[in-house]
Structure 1
């Protein structure tokens, strides 16, 4: 059975609850969640209803939903059910990267191309929109955002990251957001404990970019964070073309835990050096694929 966008939003809502340190009984307004997740209110409403049915949150007597104990004890990193929606999603990513999909597309064209219903396509497009590599055109159709399409650009992206990410840790405005970093630590531990061998390439990419962007945000330098976010958006599809070596991915997650430990100890010089080494090793492995 295809995994709908609302089902995909459940882990994100749980993570939002944890990141915001919301207490039991705190309200969960649809509008705020929709804006945070960059989706419409309809799938958020459906996701909240499913969460209430599963006792993760509670329905408020006056309408809406509030945090329940279930959400606080549930891991936000639960593996979603794999479905043909994931297969179509990765097929669209591959077709766009190889140029088989043009910059501008219509829903009717994509329904015919992939042989899927409008409902399933809508969920997939909303997921892609949420990730930032497609935008709805005024009135009709969709337009793909810029993406990285050459190996040379991909290698340059790593060299750029080795400039800005270690430097961000040494910024005079650096201030560790311990809550955010501990959330990332929990996710990396979950991956190291075996999930790395079963999750999708998109989940690995998202988990790792969350950590790197959280560290960049601690720099206090908005240009470092904005540059990294833009770079991560345009390199997402290129990452999907790389053969996934799960053992290498596990090693990178373990390195992330070492990096987090250095940051929590406030050893920023060592953390900066380790970040540079970590990116150099990752770049060398990716170029070999």
Structure 2
């Protein structure tokens, strides 16, 4: 499981004194991998040195690979969504008991995150405490609201409004559900579904009670530009890893998706879905490297830059050109021409960084332009 430590990165000397087994890095940026209680360190996030660090530790809250890398809080929010979908799939009726033991076994997790998830679902109105203790189904209809984030016509508008307001500093680090309900025209079940989506994406987490905390993201243009410089260092290198292994089915799926965007879908896709598809494509390529540090690093950069990306006014013509470059890179990778693909990736990111920085800067200068 990935544990997060927020704050500035300590100097190599101070870190070495505090953390037994840590190898100092002259760049002062750290990621750790725990194997048999020994920690290995490597250069990473040098350009993002004031953001949170991730430390991989052995964990026992789940053996299910679907939930790997999530904190207990993030896992609970993910499980709440999965439980709502389970209620729908099984067509459960009001009064049906839902026990921690049964759900923990079904989702292959410990009972602790299940317990937190059940409390969330009680607050959402899906469950109630039964007379004999434990939980039972209170409102099956709430499961439909919770399990389908896109059912409401204005769901994405609300999602983007929260992202914009957070980036503009109009939402504090900690906020209650009631305050969010006062700010935005959304029902509580729909709001909770959106918050769970944000939690799965890694930019918000639940607090005890009905509060939520927004996690650090990139908010300045300097760090946003640095994120692209960092990607130019790791993504081409990942393509040249000796252990690179094709996931042909996954890359072909992304190739089909990118060809569809080039063929015209780019003009109708939402900005959120465009970011999701494009970032997933880059992640799918780097996943093939088998290098844990590259893989986790890109995932973290995507989380940090997500809100600035959402704020951008999408230039559809430019976006189509970028997708055409994606097609070229994917074709080269699938053809086994990784050295050429690495060169194309480097040029792609070098060209993309200034374009994105310019449009993101315009969005930051006009924070309400999208409304």
State if a TM-score over 0.5 links the two structures. yes
Alpha-carbon distance in 2 for matches of 1:101, 1:146:
13
**Scaled by the length of structure 1, what TM-score is found?**
0.74
Task: Name the structure 2 match of 1:135.
Answer: 205
Does the 8 Å contact 1:39/1:126 carry over to 2? no
Which structure has more relative contact order (CA 8 Å, sep 6+)? It is 1
Task: Name the structure 1 match of 2:289.
Answer: 219
Does the 8 Å contact 2:332/2:338 carry over to 1? yes
RMSD of aligned alpha carbons: 2.4
Residues 174-183 or 199-208, more deviating:
174-183
1:117-196 mapped onto 2 (5 Å cutoff)? 117-196=187-266
1:92-148 Cα shifts (integer Å, max 9, x gaps): 000111111011111011001113321221121122122221111133311111111
Alpha-carbon distance in 2 for matches of 1:268, 1:48:
43
Residues 81-90 or 172-181, more deviating:
81-90
1:43-122 mapped onto 2 (5 Å cutoff)? 43-45=84-86, 48=89, 83-122=153-192
Does the 8 Å contact 2:228/2:353 carry over to 1? yes
Task: Name the structure 2 match of 1:283.
Answer: 353
Alpha-carbon distance in 2 for matches of 1:188, 1:253:
6
Does the 8 Å contact 2:255/2:331 carry over to 1? no
SS at match of 2:205: strand
SS at match of 1:203: helix
Shift of 1:163: 0.3
1:29-83 Cα shifts (integer Å, max 9, x gaps): xxx7985893422342367579xxxxxxxxxxxxx9xxxxxxxxxxxxxxx6772
Alpha-carbon distance in 2 for matches of 1:162, 1:199:
26
Does the 8 Å contact 2:225/2:354 carry over to 1? no
Segments of 5+ residues of structure 2 without an aligned counterpart are 1-63, 69-74, 92-105, 107-149, 360-371
SS at match of 1:220: coil
Task: Name the structure 1 match of 2:271.
Answer: 201
Task: Name the structure 1 match of 2:83.
Answer: 42
Alpha-carbon distance in 1 for matches of 2:66, 2:86:
9
Does the 8 Å contact 2:173/2:214 carry over to 1? yes
The structure with more helix, counted as a fraction of residues: 1
Alpha-carbon distance in 1 for matches of 2:316, 2:227:
22
Shift of 1:279: 0.5
Distance 1:168 1:34, change over 3 A: closer
**Scaled by the length of structure 2, what TM-score is found?**
0.58
Alpha-carbon distance in 2 for matches of 1:106, 1:138:
11
1:233-248 mapped onto 2 (5 Å cutoff)? 233-248=303-318
Residues 177-186 or 103-112, more deviating:
177-186
Residues 245-254 or 40-49, more deviating:
40-49
The structure with more strand, counted as a fraction of residues: 2
Alpha-carbon distance in 2 for matches of 1:241, 1:86:
13
Alpha-carbon distance in 1 for matches of 2:278, 2:88:
25
Shift of 1:271: 0.5
Does the 8 Å contact 1:34/1:44 carry over to 2? no
1:129-184 Cα shifts (integer Å, max 9, x gaps): 22221111133311111111000110000000000000110111111111211111
